[in-house]
Structure 1
């Protein structure tokens, strides 16, 4: 078995227990070998992602392989105002909550989340789960998603800062809405905080988190 995806410390050494194992000649290894950029992760959550070539039929679709250890409790519930997401489970199992329905899916099954549908998912079972993820019409998500993981890895910045959160929410406005706050409350609050964030150094997305060099310093990359 090959261990990869571990968080790297300040000296570039892998931190034990922060990665995942995979057969070096299996399906997941093949997918990671075809990645078009660096593999990303979140240092405190059991989740990794690697970009893959876009489908030939739609070059604008963002395609990736998502990798999750059992116990991953998913992203905060949200919905997309323009994007459609398609998930194809290749191994393991996941439970999707979409609006008021729950879908439990295993290897070989798919889930499509339409525009405007509230959703999140979690990973159970005992095995590593990985899936193909396609975001059609991703828009600003191409830049904001790397920022969410990048901020969590960055020793000089923090995602917990309310002004940083406001800047990200403002960047996603009209694209993606998180549902923890009622939009009637969340949007007015955002309109107050976002101008304050812009007066400082806060941005809704940072170019450095879209660069392979950042992730190669923070996350052990598969050598396949």
Structure 2
């Protein structure tokens, strides 16, 4: 069975960086979904995660996500207005919901209601393929691309406290990272400083297909 590698991080010259993509059988169900994607594949340059957009409407963001072995998941957070659903298509995920771990395997679904703290990991040696649905996405539509885009951008730093303060401020009323919640007094002090320094809570350039096509290898199937 022949496979192709795609989704690799591209260096400054547009060359794929070895070990940063995922393998794909051109005749597989996953390849069919990739061909039907509605925008470019996105990724994180140092973590085994890729996003394949399937729908981006006013009501829903639907993404086919590939989580490689050992993926450690996002920081713990909860949504105030955006319920989520995770349909596991291949492999399995360990979902942590309000501090309780639950194994969700292929064919199963995990629903995360608003107010439920959550994160997830792939503890296995196999990749997990998951269809994620985010309802009432609101500002997540701009912030999610920003989180990955900053990591790819030589001019960005997602770990910068000023940047994090403005992201938290942009997500106010929608999504709360529990670590940021504990640091809220400091974050509130940093927000005006960050704005004066020219930081933003979300950047339009990371929502543009051209950015991702320059930074992530796109498949030709």
TM more than 0.5: yes
Match of 1:211 in 2: 208
Contact in 1 for aligned 2:99/2:118 (Cα 8 Å): no
Verify: 1:221 aligned to 2:218, yes or no. Answer: yes
Distance 2:192 2:68 in 1: 38
Q: Tell me which of 13, 25, 28 is aligned to 1:26.
A: 28
SS state of the match for residue 180, structure 1?
Answer: helix
SS state of the match for residue 81, structure 2?
Answer: coil
List gaps (5 residues or longer) in structure 2.
Answer: none
| Alignment size in residue pairs | 219
Match of 2:48 in 1: 46
SS state of the match for residue 145, structure 1?
Answer: helix
Distance 1:80 1:74 in 2: 16
Distance 1:71 1:64 in 2: 20
TM-score (norm 2): 0.96
Match of 1:178 in 2: 177
- Seen in structure 2, the aligned counterparts of structure 1 residues 175 and 59 have a Cα distance that, compared at 3 Å, is closer
What's the C-alpha RMSD, in Å, of the aligned pairs? 1.2
Matches within 5 A, 1:131-146: 131-146=130-145
SS state of the match for residue 89, structure 1?
Answer: strand
Distance 1:124 1:92 in 2: 10
List gaps (5 residues or longer) in structure 1.
Answer: none
Verify: 1:81 aligned to 2:83, yes or no. Answer: no
Match of 1:191 in 2: 188
Residue by residue over 1:84-109, the C-alpha shift from the partner in whole angstroms, topping out at 9 and shown as x without a partner, is 00000000111000003221011111
